[in-house]
Structure 1
Amino acid sequence: MGKSKAEIQKAYRERKKQKEGEAYLKKERERVKGYYVPIEEKPQRKANERRKKVREWVRQHRLKKKNLTKTVANNLEQTKTVANNLEQCSEISSSSDVTSTVNIVTEQLIVKLPSLATKKRTRTRVNRANAKHRRTIADLTDKNELLNRKIRTVSKRYQRLINREKKTQTIIRNPTTSSSSRNSPSTSTSIALTPRKRTIQEIREEGLTPHKVPKKIQEKLLFANVITEEIGAAWKSNGLKGKHVLKKIVNGEIIKKYKMKKMLGIKSGIRRHHFKATVCSNKLLSFPLLRKRVESREILRGDVVTFLERDDNSRMMPGKNDKKKTETGHIQKRVLNDSMLFLHLKFKTESPKKISLATFCRLRPKHICLTKHLSRNKCLCQKHQNMALALKNMKTSGANVTINPDEFVRQLKDKPLPEILSEIRNENVRYEQWKKVEMADGKKRTKIVEREETRDSFISIVHTQVRDFQEHVSRVRLQYQALNNLKENLPCENVIVQMDFAENFSCTSADEVQSAYWNSSAVTLHPVVVYFKNEQKELEHKNYVFVSDDLGHNIGSVLYHHSKAFV
């Protein structure tokens, strides 16, 4: 039967040992040592496996050493026993024979015995504190080595990143500020080189001496560097149109023929994809034109904002905290009087510019809120709020209507009012209205009054209310149109004054006592806006606010504030 591969290899090693001796063993030790990996650098699983093997090797070594010690001790006892027996038998044997026998036995049993005294000693006493400190030092040493390995790993990674950045800067350069900010593609230095210095450096990098190179060759290299420098500077400084013209000039048939596009991009900083040709045509890709006209877009945005800020389209919220923070500061909030859909239609009828509903909604500024914020507002129109409450009650009773009064008026053009009211199914309808109610002290105050009417009575009330509301909406629109017309055609020496009472505000003292809470006083604010035209016939306005402790909103107060405004 033939030998296995392992047996063949073993026989080969034996022959090498016999032939080369210690040199072969030394060579094998160095070879095996080169494969050795410290246990700290191994993964946790393999490290545990090696520790397990080492413990097993140590156990076997100690067991072997223990057995050897026992064998030596037994041999020594046997030697002593034999010697004693030989002394007792001296009468039978001659002295010379005994001596030779003892010498033979003794010479056969001479071994190097280990020191047995150390085995009989007690274990060396070790201070627990010192042992703990040594363990701590060992743990910290391991952690330090682990952190050092991590530092080396991160350092190598960082160095690779730096080398990659240098290589990228060398191959593809992008000019920054001037034509002297680009270097030769054959060097990784970050020092800005002029075309002449770059020419000299390129000659030296090729192993040549500049003054030994013919002058004509130097001039041609310098000319090439100057041209590429100029092209790169022109590419950087010009806009899209200039780049488009430059691309048509430098990207011709000759540069394609000699395959110099890449070199042109490296030298001038122009990326190659700008010169890439389409698959279907031999024409080069043109630079994209301006898809958005910034100037016209800003004009359109201004027109939309001006339209939405008109008093007939939105109203300003009166609260001090009703403001919106923007990039330029705080702006008082405004609430739209109608939906964005209707305002978009209204804007298209007034303006010849084409704009989609999505763009119109996107151009709405942040400080102009939608109509849903009306429910949180104050100082609203009583007729609008009563109509909104009536629509809410109609919707609760089964009618399919909107809760926006202005939208409801527009829906009446497509669907008559009797058809809408016929959808009410409840026999008794509860509805709410803002009305003046006489209080117990004889004064009248405006409050929400809840009433219950029959279906026919409610329909009759709604008919009357809708007719009055339509007239009210028509008057409001006519008033806004007249006011806008008056502002546009205002003579230079005339003014328009808009004035009205604002809310009454309570006054408190700084660091007031507790009992002063019930003695707070109030003041009336009377804002006034004056419109006029300046010397350039542009409409301007000025704002005034009159503060008075007279809480009465009557003719006398208006006359007094009017006289103070024009003093």
Structure 2
Amino acid sequence: MPMTKAEKQKAYRDRKKQQEGESYLEKERQRTKAYYVPIAERSKTDQEKRRKKVRKLVQKHRERNRQSTIEPSTSQPSQQVESTSQEQEQVVSSSTDNPISTPLVVRLPCQNPKNRTRKRISRQVAKCNREIERLKGENINTQRKYKTVSKRYERLVKRTTQNKSSENVGQDKETGNDTHGNDGPSSSKSGTEKLTPRKRTYKELRDEGLSPSKIPKIVKNKLVLANLLTDEIEDVYNKSDQQAKAIVTSIVSSSKLKEYKLTKTLSQSTGIRRSRLVKKRKKDWAKVRKRTRNRIKRESLRKDILTFLERDDNSREMPGKNDKTKTEDGHVQKRILNDNMAFLHLKYKTETSSNVSFSRFCTMRPKNIGLTRYLSRNKCLCQKHQNMALALKSMKKAGASVPLNPDEFIRKLRTTPANTFLSSLVDEEVVFSQWKKVDMPDGRKKTVIVDQTLKKEDFNSIMNKQICEFSQHVQRVKAQYAAISTLKENLPPGHILVQMDFAENFACSSADEVQSAYWNGTAVTLHPVVVYFKENSDTLKHKNFVYVSDDLGHNFGAVYAFIKDIVNEMKAAVNDIKMVHYWTDSPSSQYRNKSAFYVVSDHKNLLGIQAIWNYFETGHGKGPCDGIGGTSKRTADLAIRQGKIVVQKCFRLL
């Protein structure tokens, strides 16, 4: 039977041992040591494998030792057993006088020789550990003293070098050599002040034991130029942003730095990390230019989307003083979108012919513009929109598959008739909720949500009428927002656009009040106004006004007083005003009444210019005035909390 590879190797090792003897064993030991890797340098998997192997070897070794202590007692020669058996036959039992018939071999437990000195070894190990700890403490103290002495030595060398440098500079001045490159007399410099490139060059030469006056001028100029360039690179690098730093690093880095071993030198001279210099060796200026162009395109796209979302037909500004969002430029008034992002994205692509994706469009929405939330706790919403939202909610509960968004429902009516949605109702009776005015016991009227249960046929007839009215309402709202947007873009010379609305009354207060002051608080009227105009250019400008009054009536008398002041202010700001366009909400108590119609008809005689008054749909007069009112109240409230003012009357806000 042929030999296996293992048997051949074993036979080869045996022959080598017989031929070479100890020299072969020494070579094998050296070879094994050369391949040995400390366990700390191995991976966790290899460490676990080695420990497992060592445990098995130790177990085998202990088992071998245990067998070696047992075998001598069990493998005695038979003759010795026979001789001992004859002697043991005479052994008498302790309980009887009869001799023991069978020989009894008793082996006493023998302590392992390796464990006999364990206690003494432990004491020696503890003593050595204590000595090691003591030496470690002495080593730390010695290192601390060494650092202290080294710092003293460095300061002494630096001071000596500065003294020598100042003496050499003085000597060069006396001999007529301006080593500093200055026309005037030399000035003493402190050790902490940064040296000029020429001074640093001469200092480096003297530190190496060379005299600058004996160095050729062309060599000195090259050294000065090198120091000058490194200073300029360091200055530009430290003052740049991350992208500019990447460009600077790409310019100065090169594979030649590694070839001539100058990477560390350049890093120390310019302050650029070595890792950056290594990564930026490959220059791809096309990618850099492409990234720059892409960044410019993204910023332009972001501005266009922001302008689109801030339009009054796409979002409305919140009027509350707490409706704010903190940004990098301070607090900004919140805006709420009038529609969902999907429709606004489609609308933006239609108007601008842009290929921006929906995800990018949503990403570029600023955080001060919130998403649409219907039936949320909000004030001054359109009653028709809210009634339609409540009706859609009732239809949804009755089994119809309709969206809860009124504007989305109107868009679906373009392809699906309203009767299709109404015919899908499952319940025979529908619980219907609407905002309505009801008569109160004291004779006043109050707007509340009224719930009523209608049959399916009655509900369908009411909904058909309401859907028709709501569709016309939505079309008028869109037409009005488009009209004011077009007017702002194409405002003729000599025309001004005045957009105004009453804000929520401001409650006068102070930072520290007595208990009874809460029940005696006063309020003032705030009337924000935004005036748009063009002055000697095609750029649209605007001015903001906030009128404060103790009159809480919110009637047209106060509005007329505000209008007179606005016209006088704008006559001083804009030359040759011919026409004023008023855009307001349409409450009959404030703007849409006979007094307003009279002022508009006789505006030329009263104020000297023609006027056109435009009314928004009811509940859709939100605009920049609401944001100005909220900002004004928030600013006044902040001043009150800081204790700067105490507002008890309207004149304290002026």
Q: TM-score range by the shorter chain?
A: 0.5 to 0.7
Counterpart position of 2:288 = 289
Check 1:284–1:370 CA distance in 2 against 1; reply closer, same or farther (3 A cut): closer
Partner amino acid for 1:384? H
Partner Cα separation in structure 2 for residue 155 and residue 460 of structure 1: 96
Partner Cα separation in structure 2 for residue 329 and residue 492 of structure 1: 34
Q: CA deviation at 1:244?
A: 5.4
Percent identity at matched positions?
Answer: 44
Q: CA deviation at 1:460?
A: 2.3
What TM-score comes out, normalization by structure 2 length? 0.50
Could you report, residue by residue, the CA deviation over 1:416-461 in whole angstroms, capped at 9, with x for unpaired residues?
A: 4333333321211112111111111222121111111112222222
Matches within 5 A, 1:88-487: 149=137, 152=140, 194-199=200-205, 201-202=207-208, 210=210, 225=223, 229=227, 232-233=230-231, 236=234, 237=236, 284-286=282-284, 288-290=287-289, 291-293=291-293, 294-372=295-373, 375-487=376-488
Matches within 5 A, 1:477-556: 477-504=478-505, 511=513, 514=516, 517=519, 523-548=524-549, 550-556=551-557
Partner amino acid for 1:37? C
Q: CA deviation at 1:483?
A: 0.6
Structure ranking higher on relative contact order (CA contacts 8 Å, 6+ apart): 2
2:547·2:562 contact (CA, 8 Å) conserved in 1? yes
Counterpart position of 1:16 = none
Check 1:451–1:506 CA distance in 2 against 1; reply closer, same or farther (3 A cut): farther
Larger radius of gyration: 1
Q: Which runs of 5+ in 1 are unaligned?
A: 1-31, 43-144, 167-179, 181-189, 205-209
Partner Cα separation in structure 1 for residue 448 and residue 265 of structure 2: 82
What TM-score comes out, normalization by structure 1 length? 0.56
Partner Cα separation in structure 1 for residue 263 and residue 449 of structure 2: 81
RMSD of aligned C-alpha atoms?
4.8
Could you report, residue by residue, the CA deviation over 1:60-87 in whole angstroms, capped at 9, with x for unpaired residues?
A: xxxxxxxxxxxxxxxxxxxxxxxxxxxx
Secondary structure in 2 matching 1:566:
helix
Partner amino acid for 1:483? I
Counterpart position of 2:241 = none
Secondary structure in 2 matching 1:335:
strand
Secondary structure in 2 matching 1:318:
coil
Check 1:515–1:547 CA distance in 2 against 1; reply closer, same or farther (3 A cut): closer
1:524·1:547 contact (CA, 8 Å) conserved in 2? yes
Partner Cα separation in structure 2 for residue 442 and residue 330 of structure 1: 44
Q: CA deviation at 1:471?
A: 1.2
Partner Cα separation in structure 1 for residue 127 and residue 443 of structure 2: 107
Q: CA deviation at 1:476?
A: 0.9
2:374·2:405 contact (CA, 8 Å) conserved in 1? no
Secondary structure in 2 matching 1:346:
helix
Partner amino acid for 1:389? L
Partner Cα separation in structure 2 for residue 221 and residue 504 of structure 1: 80
Partner Cα separation in structure 1 for residue 327 and residue 224 of structure 2: 50
Check 1:562–1:196 CA distance in 2 against 1; reply closer, same or farther (3 A cut): closer
Could you report, residue by residue, the CA deviation over 1:490-522 in whole angstroms, capped at 9, with x for unpaired residues?
A: 2332211222333355566884664972x6665
Partner Cα separation in structure 2 for residue 150 and residue 457 of structure 1: 99
Partner amino acid for 2:308? F
Partner amino acid for 1:408? F
2:263·2:274 contact (CA, 8 Å) conserved in 1? yes
Name which of 92, 109, 128 aligns with 1:37: 128
Partner amino acid for 1:446? T
2:498·2:530 contact (CA, 8 Å) conserved in 1? yes
2:410·2:471 contact (CA, 8 Å) conserved in 1? yes
Secondary structure in 1 matching 2:288:
coil
Check 1:274–1:39 CA distance in 2 against 1; reply closer, same or farther (3 A cut): closer
Q: CA deviation at 1:215?
A: 7.0
Secondary structure in 1 matching 2:448:
strand
Check 1:333–1:275 CA distance in 2 against 1; reply closer, same or farther (3 A cut): closer
Partner Cα separation in structure 2 for residue 276 and residue 377 of structure 1: 58
Partner amino acid for 1:152? I
Counterpart position of 1:26 = none
Secondary structure in 2 matching 1:487:
helix
Partner amino acid for 2:447? T
Partner Cα separation in structure 1 for residue 304 and residue 418 of structure 2: 36
2:488·2:540 contact (CA, 8 Å) conserved in 1? yes
Q: CA deviation at 1:548?
A: 4.6
2:326·2:332 contact (CA, 8 Å) conserved in 1? yes
2:335·2:368 contact (CA, 8 Å) conserved in 1? yes
Partner Cα separation in structure 1 for residue 227 and residue 207 of structure 2: 16
Secondary structure in 2 matching 1:310:
coil
1:438·1:444 contact (CA, 8 Å) conserved in 2? yes
Check 1:559–1:235 CA distance in 2 against 1; reply closer, same or farther (3 A cut): closer
Could you report, residue by residue, the CA deviation over 1:55-110 in whole angstroms, capped at 9, with x for unpaired residues?
A: xxxxxxxxxxxxxxxxxxxxxxxxxxxxxxxxxxxxxxxxxxxxxxxxxxxxxxxx
Partner Cα separation in structure 2 for residue 420 and residue 436 of structure 1: 28
Check 1:232–1:562 CA distance in 2 against 1; reply closer, same or farther (3 A cut): closer
Check 1:335–1:391 CA distance in 2 against 1; reply closer, same or farther (3 A cut): same
Matches within 5 A, 1:555-566: 555-566=556-567
Partner Cα separation in structure 2 for residue 365 and residue 451 of structure 1: 42
Partner amino acid for 1:194? R
Check 1:331–1:264 CA distance in 2 against 1; reply closer, same or farther (3 A cut): closer
Secondary structure in 1 matching 2:414:
coil
Partner amino acid for 1:367? N
2:263·2:277 contact (CA, 8 Å) conserved in 1? no
2:325·2:332 contact (CA, 8 Å) conserved in 1? yes
Secondary structure in 2 matching 1:543:
strand
1:397·1:426 contact (CA, 8 Å) conserved in 2? yes
**Higher mean C-alpha deviation, range 231-240 or range 284-293:** 231-240
Check 1:422–1:561 CA distance in 2 against 1; reply closer, same or farther (3 A cut): same
- Runs of 4+ in structure 1 deviating by more than 6 angstroms, as ranges, are 32-35, 153-156, 190-193, 213-216, 218-221, 240-243, 270-278
Q: CA deviation at 1:478?
A: 0.8
Counterpart position of 1:169 = none
Secondary structure in 1 matching 2:386:
helix
**Higher mean C-alpha deviation, range 495-504 or range 460-469:** 495-504
Partner amino acid for 1:492? P
